[in-house]
Chains A and B, each alone.
Chain A
Amino acid sequence: MDIHKDHRDGVAVIGCDGRLNMVSAPSLRAALKSTIAEGGTRVVIDLADTSFIDSSGLGALVGGLKDARQAGGDLRIAGPSQQVLTVLQLTNLNRVLRPYATVKEATDGWSHA
């Protein structure tokens, strides 16, 4: 999996390309931790190119949400594929991590607030 970071208008956008699974989840966790520690507390995870997610991947997302909230920020997810949506719905996590269609939609809410 390839993880890449990008800063747009005070928002950190983290892209995860490939499979977000037991093997790759630790790197996403690490990337999230360092981003939040550096003060980027508004984070969007771009899942547009994430082909697969398992429970470990979910764990990384929720862990990131917790860290961001505790640091006074927020974490949103954008552009999930059908498989990712299925897993989110299966666990009801879509109620907590509302999937936004695009990164722009996800950040729009913050700028209006």
Chain B
Amino acid sequence: MTRLLLTRIMVVLTLTFGTVYVGWRWLFSVNWHNWWIAVPLVLAETYALIDAYLFGLTVWRLRLRGEPDPAPAGATVDVLITTYNEPVEMVMATARAAQKISHPHQTWVLDDGARPEMQRAAEVAGVGYITRSDDWIDRPRHAKAGNLNNALFVTEGEFLLILDADQVPDPQILDRTLGYFDDPKVALVQTPQWFSNVTDCDPLGSQAPLFYGPIQQGKDGWNAAFFCGSNAVIRREALMQLGIVGYVKEVETGVRQAMRAAQRILRRTARTAGRYGAPTVRAVESVSAALNVAHKRLSDGDDLSSLTWDFHRAVDVASRSVVQEDLAAIEADLKALTDLPVEMDGELGGVIVDEVALDELSRREFSPLGALESVKALVGAVDVDRGHEAQPLLPLATISVTEDMATCMRLHAAGWSSVYHHETLARGLAPEDLGTMLTQRLRWAQGTIQVMVRENPLVQRGLSLGQRLMYFATMWSYLSGFAAVVFMLAPVLYLVAGVLPVQAFGMEFLQRFLPYIIANQLLFAVVGYGVKTWRGQQYSFALFPVWIRACWTATANVLWGRPLGFAVTPKTRQGGDSFPWRLVLPQLIATVVLVVACVIGVVRLWTGSASSIVGTGVNVAWVAYDLLVMSVIFKAALYRPAPSSPATSSS
């Protein structure tokens, strides 16, 4: 375990040097005179240091799991392949590979697009085919989470292997993962996502070797290995338990809200009820009384099913008393009619209003209380059927467009364990053009921020401290866009206008900064030994416009219900061959500004309007680093995949 030891040494060094540096920055070197850039800069540096702490914490417990136990012989498995609009041939390539998985299982195609040609292909190949039931019509569909939730109720295996449409599984995938479920607490086994259509230099940064490696292994050490939506096996019972817990929580909140609204509505209705006569007034009074009883029982902690049931019975009684009065009046009228000395149409004696008629007329569909539309609506709302959703149970979380992370966090909070099995057991297709890749990254970032705002991991009950920090670490990393802007702006301001955000860029600065940055890079080298981590580092900086947009749109979505502008990631190439100027405009502007700033900085030094050689040198080097990192986006924009790539001719 020399590597783990070395990793820990580098973590300690990085964090020590980093803390010394950022501490010195806050206490002694902020140039308060230029606070408007000095404070953002020191905040951005603090952000980066916290990121380093979270990264250090993650890799501190790197867990290598070795050989898995053999799969339990009797385990029943459903292989679920999710699709929406991917080419039928691509889905079928995955489905045929899934049929060849050696452990006994049933393969299903979950077609959210309900395409007849997809159904035919599935039937010909002999795999199951599932589309949404009618319950989903006019109700929230919840994208992929909804697609899976729908399938959970028509399949029955103990375990579920979830595959995206393009993720072609290895026949061994179940043999290598099911063994972990011998531990009854394990709910999830995630394997890496690896892409077969990516060249060695990977200009779009599709492979995520740092994530599907040290980061997942580190999270695994804290029992926080993430579910990533595909190439994972899940224990059905765990998901179902989540569905039930979520249902109970939702129903309780729903009933509480409905009761509060109901009390308001009834108060308003009571004021106008007099207009419609005494029966209406009495009906409103009875429903109000029933509601008060139900509300009190809710506060006393009574169970929801019996208190809503009793409430509905009380409403029925109120309804019945109105019907009873009406029928009594009718009988009196009829009696008066028989006393009249006139000929009659029929046999009045036959009109006996019996119990059956009374019951029928009091039922919800005929009830006179239905006349009060608002009352009718609220009576329906005070119930436990979760009628606004297609299914009362939604096992996969629907609070985010990245259902995987939200679901996983709830599993962990419920006390389940997860496993990261570091072995490539499925090979997928990565986006092959910049536009598609950017859409995908935006969606991941938006989903993560949604979860952070809706269910902040730092305050989720049931999670251990380590788990909270592991989830928070991923969310924190998506805030880097703001820091990136500051890290570009500060040197530009210095080079162009001599604005100093720090007291001085002299040796004082360098002797604290250099050890930190060198230790940090060495830490990456040790952690990512043997894999390419540079692409990932580049993209976490170069995609700053995507991260900022994600933070903004996801927050606006959660707080004010604005749409995300969400799109399914296309699995086939989009767009033509021209250079995608529009997609890289922010980076292009940043590049021009940085280059111009360097030229101006050098000229200023030359002409003597700037005096510090070290200051200019540090800032030019800083800009050069920014440019080197950002250059990846232009390489990506220029990238054109080979025409015979697997995305267009998958077999």
Contacts and interface: CB of A to CB of B under 8 A. Distances in A.
B346 interface: yes
A23 B371 contact: yes
Given A55-B368, A59-B326, A65-B333, 14 more contacts: A21-B370, A22-B372, A26-B277, A54-B323, A54-B326, A54-B366, A55-B330, A58-B330, A62-B330, A63-B333, A66-B336, A91-B357, A96-B337, A96-B346
A22 B366 contact: no
Contacts of B154: none
Q: Which range holds the interface residue count of chain B? A: 35 or more
Contact of B337 (A24, A52, A65): A65
Contacts, number: 101
B350 A95 contact: yes
Interface of B: 276-277, 279-280, 283, 322-323, 326-327, 329-330, 333-334, 336-337, 340, 342, 345-348, 350-353, 356-357, 360-361, 366-372
A91 B348 CA distance: 12
Contacts of B360: 90
B366 A58 contact: no
B279 A56 contact: yes
Interface class of chain A by DSSP: helix
Given A22-B280, A23-B372, A93-B351, A54 B367 contact: yes
Given A69-B342, A96-B345, A56 B326 contact: yes
B322 A87 contact: no
A26 B277 CA distance: 7
Contacts of B347: 95
Contacts of A98: 345-346
Interface string A43-81: 000000000101110110011011001101000000000
A54 B330 contact: no
B336 A70 contact: yes
7 nearest A-B pairs in the assembled complex, by CB-CB distance: A21-B371, A55-B326, A22-B368, A23-B371, A22-B371, A95-B346, A66-B333
A77 B479 CA distance: 71
A82 interface: no
Interface string A1-36: 000000000000000000101111010000000000
Contact of A92 (B322, B323, B351, B372): B351
Interface of A: 19, 21-24, 26, 52, 54-56, 58-59, 62-63, 65-66, 69-70, 72, 87, 90-93, 95-96, 98
A19 B159 CA distance: 52
B361 A87 contact: yes
Nearest to A29: B277
Contacts of B329: 59, 62-63
A83 to B, nearest CB: 8
B350 A56 contact: no
A25 to B, nearest CB: 8
B346 to A, nearest CB: 4
Contact of B323 (A52, A55, A66, A69): A55
Contacts of B350: 92, 95
Contacts of B372: 22-23
B322 A56 contact: yes
A73 B334 CA distance: 15
Given A63-B333, A66-B336, A96-B346, A23 B280 contact: yes
Contacts of B326: 54-56, 58-59
